[in-house]
Amino acid sequence: MKYFFLSDGWTVGRVWEFGGLWDERAWRRPPHIQRMQLSIVERGERLWLHQVEESVLMVEVCPSPTIQADGSSASIGQVVLKRLITAEQVLELLCGADLEAKS
């Protein structure tokens, strides 16, 4: 498994595997991406640990759209590509950060 941290208010967009963008028709399923119940606080921002399957190389993350009073959606329009980290790298980050487990 591989891992990445994702801030509150952000969501996963496109997913890349070895052959390029993840193709749900070819794989016959979406990629396995699961938010864990563990977070760290970095520079006052809560980052949630996510687990992804080994086949995933990189994920695109973007702000979740917010619904305005008139029913339209607004987002910042920023996109970030996240490189994935190993379990060992996660442990290093967790050992040096403020932790909060959530049940």
Residue 93 DSSP one-character state: H
Structural domain boundaries of the chain? 2-101
Asked if 93 and 5 touch (Cβ cutoff 8 Å), the reply is yes
Q: Which amino acid is at 20?
A: G
Contacts of 18 (CB under 8 A, 6+ apart): 55, 57
Among 54, 50, 60, 51, which residue's Cα sits nearest to residue 83? Answer: 60
Q: What is the pLDDT of residues 4-60, one digit of tens each?
A: 999 988 999 999 999 999 999 999 999 999 999 999 988 888 999 999 999 999 999
What integer pLDDT is reported at residue 103 of this predicted model?
44
The whole-model pTM stands at 0.79
